[in-house]
Amino acid sequence: MRHARVIAAGQYQDVTVEGEYVVTAAGHRHRLEEVTWLPPVQAGTILALALNYGDHATELNLERPEQPALFPKFRNALVGHLGTVVRPRGVEFMHYENELAVIIGRSARRVKAADAMAYVKGYTIFNDLVVRDFVINHFRPPVKPKNFDTFGPIGPWWVDAADIEDPHNLEITTYVNGELRQRGNTRDMLFRIPEIIEYVSEFMTLEENDILCTGTPKGISHIRPGDVMELHIEGIGMLKNRVVAEETLLEEAARLEVSQ
């Protein structure tokens, strides 16, 4: 089953997705294009992995990590499907990262890898946007490069873990303006989901709706104002967002202020 959070009929709603409709708890049906998409879960802690695909490490001329290389994503970065991504002023190289996101279903502490999948509630798509300009030694972990507002598109929904037969065999593709830019498969993760959960839960307690973003394969490229990103993960769906320049938003805000 697919689960989402939306604004429908002027109200925040937890819904399920059935074909071309979202269905509210009260049974009301709204067409997909009639709702505003929110991040599909009210996320707690969000941790992401750097360089969890060998080909991505190679394209960046970096060594493969010997253990999961973690960094935080913060809730200020989250934006839903079809939401706007803001390109900050003055940056040179900003790019997407299409990642399978794992949603934790219950409290997990010191979980062994053999038992870890029982703690997974579901999966969604996460776009781990980054300004590569700032990914240098004194910005490790990359808190600033990864956590500008809107740098964490997620969704459009999450899928029950039981509906994904093998999360380690899912095609990942990313299109920008309809052009294929990135292709990979979750089978190529260096650290698989059970290993990640074991590693993280050894030093901290994971709680329901915490999210683990599992890294991106090779295929990053520049994105610029006006670009439309479409991130696909097999078995889940497609996450779509448009990029706008921060300058454009500031100009629009100034015009609105003058008009009032």
Quote the pTM value.
0.95
Q: Give residue 138's pLDDT.
A: 45
Asked if 78 and 84 count as a contact pair (C-beta separation under 8 A), the reply is: no
Single-letter amino acid, residue 205: T
State phi, psi for 256 to the nearest 5 degrees.
-65, -40
**66 & 151 share domain:** yes
- The CA angle 140-145-146, to the nearest 5 degrees, is 100
**176 & 235 share domain:** yes
- Tens-place pLDDT, residues 44-63: 999 999 999 999 999 988 88
**137 & 105 share domain:** yes
**170 & 155 share domain:** yes
Q: For position 137, which CATH number holds?
A: 3.90.850.10
Q: For position 10, which CATH number holds?
A: 2.30.30.370
**186 & 250 share domain:** yes
Give the total number of structural domains in the chain: 2
Q: Give residue 255's pLDDT.
A: 74
- The CA angle 48-32-186, to the nearest 5 degrees, is 30
**33 & 47 share domain:** no
**72 & 143 share domain:** yes
**28 & 104 share domain:** no
**20 & 101 share domain:** no
Q: How far apart are CA 87 and CA 84, in angstroms?
A: 10
**16 & 98 share domain:** no
Under DSSP, the state recorded for 10 is T
Which ranges of the chain does DSSP label H, i.e. alpha helix?
54-59, 143-146, 193-201, 246-259
**17 & 70 share domain:** no
Q: Provide DSSP, 92-127.
A: S-EE--EEEEEEE-S-BSS--GGGGGGGEEEEEEEE
**104 & 223 share domain:** yes
Locus of tokens 């990029």: 243
Range of the domain at 87: 41-259
Low-confidence ranges of the chain (pLDDT < 50): 138-139
